[in-house]
Amino acid sequence: MKGLLSVSFGTSYADTRAKTIDAIDAKLAAAFPERAFYSAWTSPRIMAKVLAERGEHHDSLDEAFARLDADGVDDLVVATMCLMQGGEMRKISEAAHAWAAQEGHTVRLADPLLTAPADHAAMAQALADEFVHVPATEAVVFMGHGSAMGSNQLYSDVQDALHAIGKRNFLVATVEGTPTLDDAMHELESLGSDRVWLAPLMIVAGDHARNDLAGDGEESWTNRLAVRGFETEVVLKGLGEYAAVQKLAVDHARDAKEI
């Protein structure tokens, strides 16, 4: 039996989940009608919170693979919403390899969404199209997560891809890696932009977007920029809402490599 497993980090925010994770899941299911659809989340904390608050259960990786076994799936494509080769992608890869090691199992695993230069270019174009209304006298700063376990180079690669298509006023920074907001503020001062748009470079507009980016605390990006004299405009829209990013997830699933 053929199956498709879509894996995301998960989110406790139902509104952004419907527009991002659920939207990508729907596109994946439609793209592989010959495969039974399954989904899993990688964050135990988020799964426990959603279960406690709303009574919603979402399979962990272990539960999803057990469900695949129970249903008799032996030919599997694993799709991911991870942007990079970090800790979450490592969990997915290890679980997929363990399941693939069982006799009679065939598994193809998709790469993270920002793996190759073509991915960076596609993301840059998607961001440029989304913020096409922003004039050259203003700027956009995208908040990536960053990772201590993976390469943060992709964030600079996406920024370079933006600059390559003429969006010199579009910058990328991270919460937990490099480049930092301080790096972006240095660039903003060089650009001379007084008005700055802020948006997440993450699949969902969850805790980081609502607190670290747009929160009331003095360390939020919007308040740190305000202290430096910048006028800010926050757009709480996860990447998963972008049609181009949904297509990227489907394309990567179609190009998944056997393990």
- Just list the catalytic residues: 145
Closest by Cα among 248, 250, 243 to 129: 243
For 118, the token pair is: 């073509």
Cβ proximity of 17 and 9 under 8 Å:
no
- State yes or no: cis peptide before 179, omega within 30 of 0: yes
> Helix crossing, 117-130 with 153-164: angle to 10°?
60
**Helices H / strands E in the chain, number of each:** 11, 9
**Measured between alpha carbons, how far is 74 from 68 in angstroms, rounded to an integer?**
8
Q: Quick one: CA dihedral 113, 39, 93, 100, positive or negative?
A: negative
Question: Which 8-state DSSP code applies to residue 259?
Answer: -
For 18, the token pair is: 């419907």
Between strands 257-258 and 106-109, the pairing is: antiparallel
For 247, the token pair is: 């297509």
Closest by Cα among 155, 82, 152, 161 to 128: 161
∠ Cα 232 167 191 (to 5°) = 55
**Measured between alpha carbons, how far is 257 from 109 in angstroms, rounded to an integer?**
5
